[in-house]
């Protein structure tokens, strides 16, 4: 995106977007984006998602614009469980995505549907999340409306892209009256995303919480933490989340009650530490059956796992999307340690991570170390500062592997792991 002039866009039915796409129907409108069903001049149907850049504070717009290109590239994920991006463009200074359209209904139409196989549906939602997470992405908007059931009965996740990366770049609309209605998507949002004004690292486990809310609703037709309509409701809703006070009793009488209770307990913890860290952890709670992962279509979702020459870090999200760091080649011959920190001329790091739109990476953020006796790589949060009285210095915002916060004690990394450092996500791959 190169146009610095941003104008408000309120498209309605039959309006033309970018002179190319006619609005057939307005699907949704949130604080961050609008979604439309559109037709091109040949009559082919698509879903168009428009970023509301006009809702971003003017001083922050440039940051969003700078991160748009890499964000779009990182979302080119061709998966059987995700909608695919067809085209990108800009209208009135606001970027948009054109995504494939499939004949479907959203999941909210299937609550307590006796014809829907809940186990199959739940597993396919998880398959889609796994493809996202392995690509270094977090959905952050997993709601029933963003889970489609195609005509052939398969799940497709949509609306997982927020151009420019972070929702906190958008101005927050404060309401003063308790009678105001709240955004219903808040019912599905992991508590860590709204506890802090400045959330430094968005982790895959946020989607696991959302999945738990969706699953509960799919089973019961209700929200797990009660009514959420007004601002007054939201206070009680969040209090119940923090107290782990979700409606377990309603599950009585539902087939395979014990399994669902186990799954939901793993998903609905308000604390990241008490929540399942990965999709595979949740999938392991389901019985072996005929519903298996159906693969992806020519994408980079699956990381190589057979080590021939060594391991490398592949930037899956960040300003340097697509860049590789081959650890054995970076490691100096006299050392087994690789230091990592933000790009800063005042500090030497063997890997300097570029972050133009945020300041979440510390100058002495983390360390990779090679154990030649075991032929294993470890990651530690922080670095040894020789000239500091503190000695070992931790990062300010933490280092995470697969949603697990690590310490200076060290954590073994293996191909397929996702390392989160601030806004940047790196996948460990073999080569």
Q: How far is it, in rounded angstroms, from Cα 179 to Cα 182?
A: 9
Residue ranges per structural domain of the chain? 16-170+177-283, 311-430
| Residue 69, Cβ density class (10 Å: 0-12 exposed, 13-18 middle, ≥19 buried) | middle
Can you give the pLDDT at residue 405?
Answer: 94
pLDDT at 176: 38
DSSP 415: T
In CATH, the number for domain 16-170+177-283 is: 1.10.510.10
Length of the chain: 431
**This prediction's pTM:** 0.87
Enumerate residues 6+ apart whose C-beta is below 8 A from 252: none
- Calculate the CA dihedral of residues 90, 92, 98, 103 and round it to 10 degrees: 180
Distances (CA, A) of 177 to 174, 182, 272: 10, 11, 31
CB-based contacts of 290, cutoff 8 Å, min separation 6: none
The pLDDT, as a whole number, for residue 324 is: 95
pLDDT tens per residue, the chain (431 residues)? 444 588 999 999 999 999 999 999 998 887 778 899 999 999 999 999 998 889 888 877 777 766 666 667 777 788 999 988 888 889 999 989 898 888 888 998 888 777 889 999 999 999 999 999 999 999 988 999 999 999 888 999 988 765 444 544 444 444 333 345 567 788 999 998 876 544 568 899 999 999 999 999 999 999 999 988 888 888 898 899 999 999 999 999 888 999 999 999 999 999 999 999 999 999 999 988 888 998 877 666 777 778 888 999 999 988 898 999 999 999 876 678 999 999 998 888 999 999 877 789 999 999 999 998 999 999 999 998 776 666 899 999 999 999 999 999 999 999 999 999 998 999 999 99
Task: Report the pLDDT value the prediction gives residue 355, as an integer from 0 to 100.
Answer: 84
CB atoms within 10 A of CB 186: 14
CA separation for the pair 325, 192 (Å, rounded):
30
**φ, ψ for residue 103 (rounded to 5)?**
-65, 120
Residue 196: the pLDDT is: 54
pLDDT of residue 45: 94
Tell me which residue has tokens 């009585």. 252
Sign of CA dihedral 38, 130, 194, 57: negative
Q: Which CATH class is domain 311-430?
A: mainly beta
């Amino acid at each position: 995106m190169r146009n610095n002039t941003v104008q408000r866009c309120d498209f309605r039915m039959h309006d033309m977007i970018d002179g190319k796409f006619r609005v057939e129907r307005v699907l949704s409108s949130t604080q961050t984006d609008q979604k439309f069903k559109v037709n091109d001049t040949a009559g082919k149907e698509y879903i168009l998602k428009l970023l509301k850049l006009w809702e971003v504070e003017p001083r922050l717009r440039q940051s969003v614009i700078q991160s748009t290109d890499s964000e779009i590239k990182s979302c080119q994920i061709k998966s059987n469980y995700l909608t695919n991006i067809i085209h990108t463009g800009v209208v009135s200074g606001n970027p948009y995505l054109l995504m494939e359209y499939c004949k479907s209904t959203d999941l909210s139409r299937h609550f307590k549907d006796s014809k829907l196989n809940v186990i199959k549906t739940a597993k396919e939602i998880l398959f889609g999340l796994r493809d996202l997470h392995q690509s270094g992405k977090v959905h952050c908007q997993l709601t029933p409306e963003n889970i489609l059931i195609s005509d052939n009965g398969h799940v497709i996740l949509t609306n997982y892209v927020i151009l420019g990366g972070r929702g906190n770049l958008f101005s927050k609309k404060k309401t003063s009256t308790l009678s105001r209605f709240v955004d219903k998507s808040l019912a599905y949002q992991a508590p860590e995303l709204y506890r802090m004004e400045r959330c430094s690292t968005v982790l895959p486990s946020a989607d696991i919480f959302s999945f738990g809310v969706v699953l509960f609703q799919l089973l019961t037709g209700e929200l797990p933490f009660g009514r959420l309509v007004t601002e007054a409701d939201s206070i009680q809703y969040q209090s119940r989340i923090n107290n782990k006070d979700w409606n377990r009793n309603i599950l009585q009488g539902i087939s395979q009650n014990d399994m669902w209770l186990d799954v939901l307990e793993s998903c609905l913890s308000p604390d990241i530490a008490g929540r399942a860290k990965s999709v595979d952890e949740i999938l392991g709670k389901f019985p072996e059956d005929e519903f298996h992962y159906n693969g992806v279509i020519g994408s980079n979702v699956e990381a190589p796992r057979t080590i021939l020459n060594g391991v490398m870090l592949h930037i899956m999200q960040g300003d340097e999307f697509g860049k590789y760091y081959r650890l054995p080649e970076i490691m100096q011959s006299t050392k087994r340690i690789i230091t990592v920190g933000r790009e800063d001329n005042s500090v030497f790091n063997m890997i300097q991570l570029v972050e133009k739109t945020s300041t979440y990476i510390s100058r002495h953020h983390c360390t990779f170390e090679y154990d030649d006796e075991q032929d294993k790589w470890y990651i530690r949060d922080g670095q040894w500062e020789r000239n500091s009285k503190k000695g070992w210095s931790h990062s300010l915002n933490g280092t995470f592997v697969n949603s697990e916060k690590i310490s200076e004690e060290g954590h073994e990394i293996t191909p397929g792991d996702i390392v989160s450092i601030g806004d940047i996500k790196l996948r460990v791959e073999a080569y």
